[in-house]
Amino acid sequence: MSKYVLPPDLPPELKGMIHPDGGFLSMTSHWRPDPEAADPEMPGQKLSMTSYIPVFPNETCLCGSGKRYGDCCQPERLWHPVCPNPGRQGFSLVKPQAATFRNVNGDVVRERLMADRRLRGTDTSQASAFWVFHGHPPVEDQYGILCFGDIELKHNRTLLVTAMSDLRMQTLLALLQEIAGDCLTEPHKSQDPILVIDKETGKMRSVRSSEPQSSKWRLRRRRYRR
């Protein structure tokens, strides 16, 4: 048996199913119509959820490194979540980040983004708008349409792009360059801290997106096997 412990707030029914050294926590966001709204398609509901994906040591690690799980994230002390890539083509480590474009022509940008089938406009007004990126064709499951990033137009002058991984942000910036590159300047980029779980204590800790998992955090004993 492993010496690792699970977070204390984990629902009791999941404690026998989830093991921090046997898989990943996957963070997803879904868009779905709001049946109680006058127009269910606008703005709709956004559902954020976390699920568990078991991984065997000889399987490819879900972090995107291409290595075996047993040689990559399994021996790490910090339990780092992943999120699905656009189109659900594999996974990447969660690294929350944002890109801000200032002094944009809001009228032109709004018109172009609203016309692109890869984006769903969920809120529009005279001075602001909000889109979720679902790609084309959209990926849908029992919870709704998977969202892979957000774009928000503020005060008709500022465009804010938020994403949960490096690959998602690269995809969104390439999309914006394609749609409205002639209207945009270089963005200001920022990264948010990530909440990870210490496998030995079960406690959450905050790390910066750029902070690597140092070798000092690798566990010396791995009694858990699959």
Residue 33 lies in a domain: yes
Q: 184 with 106, same domain? A: yes
Q: 26 with 89, same domain? A: yes
Residue 210 lies in a domain: yes
- Give a three-class secondary structure readout of the chain: CCCCCCCCCCCHHHCCCCCCCCEEEEEEEEEECCCCCCCCCCCCEEEEEEEEEECCCCCECCCCCCCEHHHCCCCECEECCEEECHHHCCEEECCCEEEEECCCCHHHHHHHHHHCCCEEEEEECCCCEEEEECCCCCCEECCEEEECCEEEEECCCEEEEEECCHHHHHHHHHHHHHHHHHHCCCCEEEECCEEEEECCCCCEEEECCCCCCCHHHECCCCCCCC
Q: 104 with 186, same domain? A: yes
Q: 170 with 210, same domain? A: no
Q: What is the pLDDT of residue 108?
A: 94
Q: What is the pLDDT of residue 121?
A: 87
Residue 7 to residue 204: CA distance in whole angstroms: 8
Q: How far is CA 107 from CA 48, 140, 160, in A?
A: 30, 31, 15
Q: 103 with 171, same domain? A: yes
Tell me which residue of 8, 60, 53 sits closest to 27, measured CA to CA: 53
Give the chain's domain count: 2
Q: 175 with 196, same domain? A: no
CATH code for the domain of 173: 3.30.310
Provide the token pair at 152. Answer: 């928000």
**pTM of the predicted protein model:** 0.84
Q: 181 with 104, same domain? A: yes
Provide the token pair at 183. Answer: 């209207």
Provide the token pair at 97. Answer: 């980040």
Residue 90 lies in a domain: yes
Average of per-residue pLDDT across 36-49: 75
The 10s digit of each residue's pLDDT in 122-179 is 877 777 899 999 998 999 988 899 999 999 999 999 999 999 999 999 999 999 999 9
Q: 74 with 134, same domain? A: no
Q: 78 with 107, same domain? A: no
Residue 157 lies in a domain: yes
Q: What is the pLDDT of residue 200?
A: 87
Q: Given a cut of 90, is residue 15 above it in pLDDT?
A: no
Tell me the residue range of the domain where 163 lies: 97-190
Q: 81 with 34, same domain? A: yes
Residue 6 lies in a domain: no
As a whole number, the mean pLDDT across the chain is 85
Residue 225 lies in a domain: no
Average of per-residue pLDDT across 32-57: 81
- 112 in Cβ contact with 119 (< 8 Å): no
Residue 74 lies in a domain: yes
The 10s digit of each residue's pLDDT in 175-190 is 999 999 999 999 999 9
Residue 166 lies in a domain: yes
Q: 52 with 125, same domain? A: no
Q: 101 with 41, same domain? A: no
Assign 12 a pLDDT band (cuts: 50, 70, 90): low
